[in-house]
C-alpha cells in the first residue's frame, strides 16, 4: 500500500485537505512514532483552538458509550462535525475499536461528519495522555467542531486524560454500589457538568440528591478525624467557589436520547462561561504547561540515556539490584550532581 | 508534638528499631516530602529484599479488601508479620484510611504484627507509584515478612502500582457485567495468580472457565480484523510461555476464609518459581530500571526549571497558548537543542 509510505508532511497536508483516510493514517503515526508526532504537532498546533473539546468520564456501568453516541447525534443535528476519541487506559490494544464500538459503528457509520478513533495504552500511561492530546489536536486542526473524549474507567489516569478537555462531563448512574460511590470523590472534583444517566432506574433521585448534597457542602473543607490524625477532605464546594461555576446536574436516558439536548445546552453554557470568565484561558495555560513539562521530561531523559548508553545504564541498574547503591544516589551520580 | 520535629535520620533509626509510631511518621515524610524521601531511601534501600511483596488488584466489586484482610490473617497464622498498603489512585485523600478500612481495623487492629497504611494521589499519578514503592521499601527494611499492596481500581495506574510486587494477584468475581469483562484483558496480562472470589455466587464456574480459556488461547496472537485494519491482540498465552509459569486459578470465599490457605500456598509456589527460574531477578532489574528512569525524569526537569525560572517558563507557556510556538519546538528550544 503506497499510501502507508507517505511522508508525515504529505499526510498532514492531505488530512488538512479533508481526506479521512489520510487523517486516520496521520493519527496512527502520531500514536506510534513520537518523533513523527513532534513534526506533526509543529504543523498542526497553529491551526487548533476552534473545537469544543468535551471529556466524558465516569465509572464502568454508567452507560458512557451510549451517551457519547447520543451526544454525537445531537451535535450532528445542530450541523456540527464530531470527532470521538475513546480511550481505554486499562487496555493494551490500540488502533482498532473497543468498548461500545459495535453499537457506535451501527449508529454513526456512514456519516462523513463523524470521525471515530479508539486508543489504548501502548507504552506508559503518560504516553497515552500525551498521544490523546495530540490526536485531539489533529482532529481540532482538521476542523471537527466538537470533539468528545471518552475514557473508560474512573481512575486517576482517566482524570488526567479528561483534563485535556475544555468541559468535563462526569457520568453517574443509580445503583452502582458502595465502592463506586467512593471512587466518585476523586472524579467529582473535575466535573463541569454532572450527568445522572439511566435516569429511569430506581434510585435515580437518590443519586441526584447525593450529588446535590456534595455540591452544597459548605465552603469549609470537611474535617474527618481518623486514626487519631486529621484527614482534610478538600470539599467539592471550594472548587465550585473557585471556578465561579456550579456544575449543573442533567438527567439522561441515553438509549432513548432523553435529556441529551439539555446536556448539549449545558455544555454550551459552560463553554460560554469559560470564555466570559477567563477560566478558559487559565485552563489552556495549565494544560500547555503540563504538556510542555511532560515533553521536557522525555526529551531530557532521552538525551541523558544517549549519553550514558545501554551498557552504562545496565551497570547502574545491576548495582541498584545488588543494593550497592540506591536509586536516588544513582540518579544524582548519573546527572553529574 | 516534639516527635514531629525529629530529623529523618532519627526517624529512620527509631523505625528500624521497631517503633511503629516512628514508622508511621517516616512513611508520612516519604509521602509528602520528595527530598526527605531521597534521604530515607538511601538509608533504607540496602536493608531491603527480604519481604514477599504481593500486589492485589482487580475491578471494583470483586471483594479485594476483604480478601486482603483474610490473606493477612493467613500469613499471621504462619507467624509472618504483615504490612498492608492500600492504594487508591482515584482519590485525592491520603494519610488516613479508606475503602474497607473499617472492617480492616476491626479485624486486624491490636495485632502488632500487622501494619496498615492507606495512600492516595496527592500530586501526579507517577508520584503515587513512586511513593508506593518507597513506602513498601520502608516496610521491607523494617522487617515485615509479607507486604500486601492493594489497589482499588483496574486501570493502567493500578497496573503500574501492582508491578511493584513480586507476585500479582488479579481478583475476579462472578456477575460483574460486560464492561468489567473488557477491562480484564489489560490486567490479566500481569497476573501471576488468578483469584475467583465470591466463589459461592452464581456464575463462579463460568468465570473460572472464561479465565481458563484465556490462559489456554494458543501461543499465536489472535488477529481480529476491524475497521479494515488488523488489530493484533497480544494473547495472554504468549505471556504464559514467556514466564514459564501458568497462573493458577484459586477459588475463594473471602468473608468465610475459604480458599485463602490455598491462595497463600499458590503465592509461595510462585515465589519459589521466581527464584528458581531467574524470573525474580529479571523483574527486579526491570523495576529498578523503571524507578531509576522515573527519578531521573524528575531530577532533570527540576534542574531545568531552576535554570529557566518561573517567569521564563510562563513566557513560553503564553507563546504556546497564543499558538506562536508548538510545545515540541518550545521543548527543543528550552533544552538548548
Are residue A177 and residue A292 in the same domain, yes or no?
no
pLDDT at B92 over 80: no
Torsion angle of alpha carbons B3, B8, B11, B15, nearest 10°?
Answer: 150
Residues A109 and A123 in one domain: yes
pLDDT tens figures, A12-40: 999 999 999 999 999 999 988 878 888 99
- Whether residue B41 is found in the same domain as residue B52: no
Looking at the partner chain, which of A99, A186, A326 has a beta carbon nearest the beta carbon of B90? A186
The stretch A107-129 carries a mean pLDDT of 75
> Between A281, A313, A327, which is nearest B295 by CB?
A327
Asked if the Cβ–Cβ distance from A97 to B227 is below 8 Å, we say yes
Average pLDDT of span A83-109: 61
Position A217 scores a pLDDT of: 67
Q: Please report, to the nearest 10 degrees, the dihedral formed by the alpha carbons of residues B228, B229, B230, B231 taken in order.
A: -110
| Domain final position from B257, B277, B297 | B277
B211 pLDDT band, cuts 50/70/90, is confident
Choosing among A155, A166, A282, which should be mutated to test the B contact, i.e. which has the most B CBs within 10 A?
A: A155
Cβ-Cβ contacts under 8 Å between A and B: the total is 243
Cα separation of A263 and A325, whole Å?
56
Instruction: Name the pLDDT band for B5 (thresholds 50, 70, 90).
Output: low
pLDDT at A7: 87
Per-residue pLDDT at B40 exceeds 60: yes
Helix (H) or strand (E) holding B250: strand B249-251
B112, three cell numbers: 502488632
Task: Give the chain B residue whose CA is nearest to the CA of A119.
Answer: B231
Chain B interface, mutation test: which of A152, A318, A331, A336, most B Cβ atoms within 10 Å? Answer: A331
Alpha-carbon gap, residue B244 to A146, rounded angstroms? 48
Q: Is the pLDDT of residue A83 over 70?
A: yes
Q: Following DSSP, what letter does each residue of A41-108 receive, concatenated?
A: HHHHGGG-S-SEEEEEEE-TTS-HHHHHHHHHHHHHHTT--EEEEEEETT----SS--TTHHHHHHHH
Kindly identify which residue of chain A lies nearest to residue B105, measuring between CA atoms.
Answer: A227
Query: Mean of the pLDDT values across residues A99-128?
Result: 69
Contact A182 B99 (CB under 8 A): yes
pLDDT of residue A135: 93
Higher pLDDT, B4 or B199: B199
Residues A117 and A15 grouped into a single domain: no
Domains: count for chain B? 3
Q: What confidence score (pLDDT) does residue B118 get?
A: 84
Cell 500487622, located at residue:
B114
Q: What is the pLDDT of residue A49?
A: 92
Q: Is the pLDDT of residue B54 over 80?
A: yes
Q: What would the grid cell of residue B234 be?
A: 497480544
Nearest-neighbour CA in chain B from A321: distance (Å): 6
- My answer on whether A6 and A77 are in the same domain is no
Give pLDDT, residue A243.
64
Q: Evaluate if residue A268 carries a pLDDT over 90.
A: yes
Interface test with A, best of B37, B40, B327 (most A CBs within 10 A): B327
Whether residue A254 is found in the same domain as residue A307? no
Instruction: Give the residue from A227, A262, A277 where a domain finishes.
Output: A277
What rounded mean pLDDT belongs to chain B?
81
Statement to judge: residues B19 and B92 lie in one domain = no
Please give the helix or strand (H or E) that residue A196 lies within, else none.
strand A193-196
Does position B88 have pLDDT exceeding 50, yes or no? yes
Least confident span in A125-129, A283-287, B229-233: B229-233
**pLDDT on residue A175:** 78
C-beta atoms of A318 and B285 within 8 A: yes
Instruction: State the pLDDT at residue B180.
Output: 45
CB contacts of A179 in chain B (<8 Å) are 60-61, 99, 152
Verify whether the Cβ–Cβ distance A297 to B297 is below 8 Å. Answer: yes
Which candidate from A49, A327, A337 shows the least CB-CB separation from B292? A327
Q: Dihedral of CA A164/A167/A168/A169: which sign?
A: negative
B122-181 tens-digit pLDDT: 555 556 777 888 999 999 999 999 999 998 655 556 667 777 899 999 898 887 754 444
| Same domain (yes/no): B304, B317 | yes
Averaged pLDDT score across all residues of chain A: 81
Residue B91 and residue A317: Cβ atoms within 8 Å?
no
pLDDT confidence tier of residue B111, bands split at 50, 70 and 90: confident
Q: What is the pLDDT of residue A336?
A: 83
Query: What confidence score (pLDDT) does residue A122 get?
Result: 53
- pLDDT for the residue A185: 55
Among A156-160, A212-216, A239-243, B234-238, the minimum mean pLDDT is found in: B234-238
Q: Which residue of A has its CA nearest to B25?
A: A229
pLDDT at A89 over 60: no
- Extract the C-alpha cell encoding B41: 531511601
A chain contacts of residue B44, beta-carbon cutoff 8 Å: 326
For residue B336, pLDDT beyond 60: yes
Predicted pLDDT at A126:
59
Among partner residues B91, B226, B296, which is closest to A331 by beta-carbon distance?
B296
The CATH number of residue A105's host domain is 3.40.50.300
Residues A174 and A256 in one domain: yes
* A177, A231: one domain: yes
Domain boundary among A254, A277, A300: A277
pLDDT band of A146, cuts 50, 70, 90: very high
pLDDT at B271 over 90: yes
Q: Do A5 and A136 lie in a common domain?
A: no
Minimal Cβ distance to A328: which of B41, B96, B98: B41
Cβ proximity of A150 and A98 under 8 Å? no
Looking at residue B258, its pLDDT comes to: 97
Report pLDDT for B104.
61
Q: With both helix axes pointing from N to C terminus, report the angle between A279-321 and A125-142 in degrees, rounded to the nearest 10.
A: 150
Query: What percent of chain B has pLDDT above 90?
Result: 49
Confidence of residue A224 (pLDDT cuts 50, 70, 90): very low
Name chain B contacts of A45, Cβ cutoff 8 Å.
320, 323, 326-327
Nearest chain B Cα to A95, which residue? Answer: B231
pLDDT of residue A111: 87
* Residue A196 pLDDT greater than 50, yes or no: yes
Task: Inspect the interface and report whether the beta carbons of A321 and B92 lie closer than 8 Å.
Answer: no
Between the alpha carbon of residue B52 and those of residues A95, B81, B206, the distances in Å are 38, 11, 31
Average pLDDT for A271-284: 93
In whole angstroms, give the CA distance from residue A90 to residue B129.
16
pLDDT at B122: 53
pLDDT at residue A226, rounded to an integer:
32
Q: Measure B150 CA to nearest chain A CA, in Å.
A: 14
Contacts of A44 in chain B (CB under 8 A): 326
The helix or strand, by DSSP H or E, that contains position A40, with its residue range, turns out to be helix A34-44
CA distance A49 to chain B (A): 9
Q: Give the Å distances, CA to CA, from A48 to A79, A138, A140, A194.
A: 20, 8, 5, 27
Q: What is the pTM of this model?
A: 0.74
**B interface test, pick of A296, A307, A311 with most B CB neighbours within 10 Å:** A296
pLDDT of residue A113: 93
Collect all residues of chain A within an 8 Å Cβ-Cβ radius of residue B291.
Answer: 320, 327
Name the minimum distance, in Å, from the CA of A2 to any CA of chain B.
Answer: 15
- B278-299 per-position pLDDT tens digit: 999 998 998 899 889 988 988 9
Decide which of B61 and A324 is more confident: A324
pLDDT score for A65: 86
The pLDDT > 70 percentage for chain A reads 77
pLDDT at B124: 54
Q: What pLDDT sits at residue B310? A: 85
- A296 vs B225: CA distance, rounded Å: 37
Domain that holds residue A282: 278-337
DSSP codes of every residue in A99-148: TTHHHHHHHHTT-TTEEEEEEE-SS-HHHHHHHHHHHHHHHHHHT-SEEE
Residues from chain A contacting residue B297 (CB–CB below 8 Å): 297-298, 300-301
Considering the domain architecture, whether residues B193 and B285 belong to the same structural domain is answered as no
Q: What is the pLDDT of residue B198?
A: 95
Amino acid at each position: 500500500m503506497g499510501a502507508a509510505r507517505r511522508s508525515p508532511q504529505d499526510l498532514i497536508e492531505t488530512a488538512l485537505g479533508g481526506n479521512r483516510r489520510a487523517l486516520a493514517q496521520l493519527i496512527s503515526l502520531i500514536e506510534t512514532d513520537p518523533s513523527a508526532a513532534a513534526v506533526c504537532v509543529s504543523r498542526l498546533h497553529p491551526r487548533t483552538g476552534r473545537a469544543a473539546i468535551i471529556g466524558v468520564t465516569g465509572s464502568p456501568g454508567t452507560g458512557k458509550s451510549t451517551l457519547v453516541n447520543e451526544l454525537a447525534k445531537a451535535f450532528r443535528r445542530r450541523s456540527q462535525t464530531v470527532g470521538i476519541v475513546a480511550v481505554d487506559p486499562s487496555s493494551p490494544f490500540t488502533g482498532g475499536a473497543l468498548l461500545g464500538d459495535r453499537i457506535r459503528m451501527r449508529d454513526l457509520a456512514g456519516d462523513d461528519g463523524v470521525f471515530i478513533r479508539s486508543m489504548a495504552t501502548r507504552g506508559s500511561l503518560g504516553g497515552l495522555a500525551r498521544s490523546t492530546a495530540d490526536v485531539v489536536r489533529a482532529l481540532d486542526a482538521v476542523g471537527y467542531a466538537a470533539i468528545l473524549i471518552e475514557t473508560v474507567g474512573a481512575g486517576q489516569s482517566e482524570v488526567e486524560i479528561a483534563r485535556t478537555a475544555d468541559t468535563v462531563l462526569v457520568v453517574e448512574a443509580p445503583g452502582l454500589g458502595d465502592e463506586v460511590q467512593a471512587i466518585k470523590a476523586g472524579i467529582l472534583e473535575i466535573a463541569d457538568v454532572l450527568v445522572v444517566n439511566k435516569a429511569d432506574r430506581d434510585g435515580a433521585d437518590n443519586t441526584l440528591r447525593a450529588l446535590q448534597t456534595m455540591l452544597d457542602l459548605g465552603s469549609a473543607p470537611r474535617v474527618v478525624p481518623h486514626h487519631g490524625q486529621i484527614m482534610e477532605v478538600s470539599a467539592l464546594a471550594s472548587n465550585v467557589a473557585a471556578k465561579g461555576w456550579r456544575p449543573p446536574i442533567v438527567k439522561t436516558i441515553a438509549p432513548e436520547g432523553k435529556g441529551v439536548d439539555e446536556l448539549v445546552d449545558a455544555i454550551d453554557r459552560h463553554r460560554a462561561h469559560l470564555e466570559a470568565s477567563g477560566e478558559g484561558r487559565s485552563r489552556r495555560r495549565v494544560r500547555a504547561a503540563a504538556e510542555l513539562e511532560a515533553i521536557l521530561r522525555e526529551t531530557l531523559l532521552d538525551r541523558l540515556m544517549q549519553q550514558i548508553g545501554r551498557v552504562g545504564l545496565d551497570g547502574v541498574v545491576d548495582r541498584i539490584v545488588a543494593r550497592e547503591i540506591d536509586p536516588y544516589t544513582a540518579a544524582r551520580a548519573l546527572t553529574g550532581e
